Structure 1
């Protein structure tokens, strides 16, 4: 398993070295797969104490008690991190891949740094394998060159790559000065998966226009440099039972939870859980809340939007400016409606533990997922499993990969503020019976397409198809 973000990090605290675990995201899914595989997990070691707990090969057994797999940490210099992660990955590939009208930056120094870090990860993987055969699961846009680098090692490898973010149309992708190199890198693997079928189509059209490869569209198969790669859609699932177990551990009443967590009680709560990222549609979401209260003033002093929105990638100017706009807009809307110590918007910029987030899902009346473009969106799926079936209802952007699996949600165009405001109203006023029927249908789909069936299918398609 290869990802940029590690599943566990060791950090220095006043009480000594502590272990931290990210609260959500794709790496949560992959950690579950890694525990089941008993293999190696290769990731960037970013914790302040990471180097102090690894062995001479930069490996530490994880999780600490069970010791089910080996975490191989790759340490990067500040310059490597700036060029590879904050530069090429997140100021070029990220905006290029998301149709949100943020211009990517094409910096040759970033490209050079990205290549070097991909080579560094390739060597780390090969060092772990030694002379053994290997199945390598490469994850996401940080490592588009890795499949080709591993293939060129000459070792007996099966390589599967999952690209978790959207893949752009050719008309967008063609502006990338390193388009051919990225496509060739990904075609070094045996299997390449995306969350949705249109992303597969976009990728194949890019191949068709950029490199001399044989494409069999009916079989979703590409042959390039005498190597065959299958390309398919394979939407990721959740650990259905684990989420239900966490949800059921929350024994507090809604009133007690709201008082302890928010410091006040309201009749209706909308939840949002997103990094402060311009792809998440947070500006549009706050405008929807504003318009909702304008159109339906009976909800004033009875409704609150609680946003768990940690700051992210603040080294990047676009993220700093976006975060400021969000904070300023929330303050403006709160001032507009302020009365009797009530404001409609509460934004928490600290990360919360996963069990606490699931408790918020359980007691929320609606979850607002307004992403402008998103490969999947796990928040939407987690909310459907965690909320009370007759109390909660998901409002979901139709531009997320999750919308295909969650068709019983209230689907919206996140650019349509009026539609979003009406969707909030519909979610809050829908009958308990209709909510329960919709949620049960979505839960059946999530149970059927869980994380284990997703992982098994991915592995089988890489190894045997």
Structure 2
């Protein structure tokens, strides 16, 4: 999940969910003052509903999780103001106090024009950094104007953060949109502030990342942080290997994960992100969730005794959706006894449709799903059921709860919170998670999930069959173990872990001073 993906697009690798946000600071370890968050996506936006201005509130994922932390910290959140009424409600400094019913922190909006959005966001962020970090060199589209605009926008966010910061502030950058901003802030403010950065997508090998014409500038920018976090240890190791290859003057302490270069060391550490498990459990068990499932099954002609699989994704080439549907096709071909009895529900939302690579994956997913339905479907049954409309939180988690298995087949993923959301929603411990070992979450749940290689179509199909034929006891034992993990390291714990690490770094710095 990213600041850009929070899972409306997803972060969650998954679906946004409306409702009362919870999260952050579970044990009081979050900073109580001086917290600045810098993200591409804003926590609140304003739009027109006719002549009236309405507020779009935080949704699931990081945005919702950080909102209550910011309310307690009375800090400042700096983000792109993309609501069509955002300019109407800010003051002369482009600030507004939020949340509207009980203002407790400041939202500072940065305005981006169409060229900036095209070149910084759709261009450099999502046609250079996104494919490179997902080890997909073939999809990189580099143009010099993309880089120039990325640098300019990072400069604007860094300038805003520097103006808002005070001595002792923690400035927390979110994701790949701001690879240069930490050094820009450091150059302005020196050691008066603590800088942290969480990179929500994978970090690739040096052989992949050095394809980027600005690889050295980006890594130099990130090393200005006091703390740099990734989802899993593998990404940390690949970043550190890149540092050693890129900079002759860098010394990496592999035991501690600290990079020594210049005056300020950088701690590189894994923080596997969690979900708001308590909220998901509550909504999955709600009356509205059951009502949605009953009506959905009836409307889509899904029999009461059908085996239902679910996939929830943005239409992104990293999610392995065509590979997943091809495995289902092979499964139905090899096991005809499941025709008419197996239904795959694909909840997909379009993403970054301005980019040709995303247009291509949307066409491919549509074509392969149509082919499978034409091959096997009947008047009364379709093996692939597509859902494109936005689902309320209760509906989404009700779908998770009642699905017999979830298919998470990412070909490359920083974490993939859909897997954790599905597990959290399995109140009866009866479902099964089929999980790609290329997703970061495999390091957390892989011992108990049904692990697959999304490219190994035959083995993938056989794993689907295995989840159906395994004993109920086996499935329950696996799910029970995963639910314990997801509950223990939830979104609160993730943020607490980061803030505790920042506090330790500050303490060590004070001792040295």
What SS does structure 2 have at the residue aligned with 1:405?
helix
Q: Does 1:395 align with 2:437?
A: no
- Match 1:417 to one of 449, 457, 464: 457
Q: Which residue number in structure 2 is paired with residue 230 of structure 1?
A: 267
Pick closer, same or farther for the CA change 1:37–1:242 going to 2, 3 Å. farther
TM-score after normalising by structure 1: 0.94
Q: Does 1:361 align with 2:425?
A: no
- Match 2:480 to one of 415, 433, 440: 440
Deviations 1:348-386 (A, max 9, x none): 233323332111101111111000011101100010010
CA contact (8 A) 1:158 1:463 kept: no
Pick closer, same or farther for the CA change 1:36–1:350 going to 2, 3 Å. farther
What SS does structure 2 have at the residue aligned with 1:218?
coil
Q: Does 1:460 align with 2:495?
A: no
Distance 1:431 1:61 in 2: 54
Please state how far the C-alpha of 1:178 moved relative to its aligned partner.
Answer: 0.4
Q: Does 1:344 align with 2:344?
A: no
Pick closer, same or farther for the CA change 1:62–1:116 going to 2, 3 Å. same
What SS does structure 1 have at the residue aligned with 2:407?
strand
CA contact (8 A) 2:132 2:209 kept: yes
Q: Which residue number in structure 1 is paired with residue 409 of structure 2?
A: 370
Matches within 5 A, 1:47-86: 47-86=83-122
Matches within 5 A, 1:59-138: 59-100=95-136, 102-129=138-165, 131-138=166-173
Pick closer, same or farther for the CA change 1:338–1:260 going to 2, 3 Å. closer
- Match 1:296 to one of 329, 335, 343: 335
What SS does structure 2 have at the residue aligned with 1:5?
coil
Deviations 1:2-44 (A, max 9, x none): 2112233222234733333575454344445434533222211
Distance 2:55 2:480 in 1: 37
CA contact (8 A) 2:423 2:433 kept: yes
Distance 2:363 2:427 in 1: 34
Please state how far the C-alpha of 1:72 moved relative to its aligned partner.
Answer: 1.9
Please state how far the C-alpha of 1:438 moved relative to its aligned partner.
Answer: 1.2
Q: Which residue number in structure 2 is paired with residue 262 of structure 1?
A: 300
What SS does structure 2 have at the residue aligned with 1:339?
coil
Pick closer, same or farther for the CA change 1:66–1:393 going to 2, 3 Å. farther
Q: Which residue number in structure 2 is paired with residue 239 of structure 1?
A: 276
- Match 1:45 to one of 61, 73, 81: 81
CA contact (8 A) 2:293 2:395 kept: no
Q: Unpaired segments of 5 or more residues in structure 2? A: 1-36, 506-513
Please state how far the C-alpha of 1:263 moved relative to its aligned partner.
Answer: 5.4
Please state how far the C-alpha of 1:86 moved relative to its aligned partner.
Answer: 0.3
* 218-227 vs 190-199, which moves further: 218-227
Q: Unpaired segments of 5 or more residues in structure 1? A: none
CA contact (8 A) 1:147 1:188 kept: yes
Deviations 1:91-114 (A, max 9, x none): 000000103453312221100000
**Relative contact order higher in (CA < 8 Å, ≥ 6 apart):** 2
Pick closer, same or farther for the CA change 1:219–1:336 going to 2, 3 Å. same
Please state how far the C-alpha of 1:408 moved relative to its aligned partner.
Answer: 0.6
What SS does structure 2 have at the residue aligned with 1:422?
helix
- Pairwise CA RMSD of aligned residues? 2.0
Q: Which residue number in structure 1 is paired with residue 175 of structure 2?
A: 140
Distance 2:57 2:436 in 1: 28
Pick closer, same or farther for the CA change 1:231–1:98 going to 2, 3 Å. same
Distance 1:263 1:42 in 2: 47
CA contact (8 A) 1:23 1:354 kept: no
Please state how far the C-alpha of 1:186 moved relative to its aligned partner.
Answer: 0.2
Pick closer, same or farther for the CA change 1:210–1:416 going to 2, 3 Å. same
TM-score after normalising by structure 2: 0.86
What SS does structure 2 have at the residue aligned with 1:192?
strand
* 18-27 vs 63-72, which moves further: 18-27
Distance 2:494 2:442 in 1: 17
Deviations 1:418-465 (A, max 9, x none): 121112222223322222211111111122212222212212222322
